[in-house]
Amino acid sequence: MTQTNSDSGQELLKALLAAQIISQAQADLAQQDSQNMSMSLDEVLLARRWVSEEALKEHAPWLFQSSETASQVKSSENNSGPVVTENSGSSDDYGTNLARYRSLMRDILGQEG
């Protein structure tokens, strides 16, 4: 049985609260932001810079387990720029889409990670 994104978000908040990475006030605000901006809780927490991606990987590994193709999604560079992979279309898999989004944001912002 798979968890819904809401269930996964609640588990994420519980894990981060238990590890004292975020406060209850931050968790409450992140939930409100998530609902108001149609973003997942992990996206809100990352955007607000309250947690790092490494902290998410450590305390909420299930966010990164959903797809082995996530590592394949990362675009490779050649002389003419990024190469679009065969997996470049939309996907119903949240983990795959999240990995693509993060990869694109790193490419756009020029960040390593």
| pLDDT (tens digit per residue) in 73-98 | 444 444 445 544 444 555 667 777 77
Kindly list the distances between the CA atom of residue 35 and the CA atoms of 29, 43, 78, 109, in Å, as whole numbers in the listed order: 10, 12, 39, 26
Both tokens of 24, joined, read: 């209850």
Give 76-84 contacts, CB < 8 A, sequence gap 24+.
Answer: 82/107
* Mean model confidence pLDDT for the chain: 76
Q: What is the pLDDT of residue 5?
A: 61
| pLDDT (tens digit per residue) in 33-48 | 999 988 899 999 999 9
pLDDT at 72 over 80: no
Task: Write down the domain spans for the chain.
Answer: 1-64, 66-113
pLDDT band at 63 (very low <50, low <70, confident <90, very high): confident
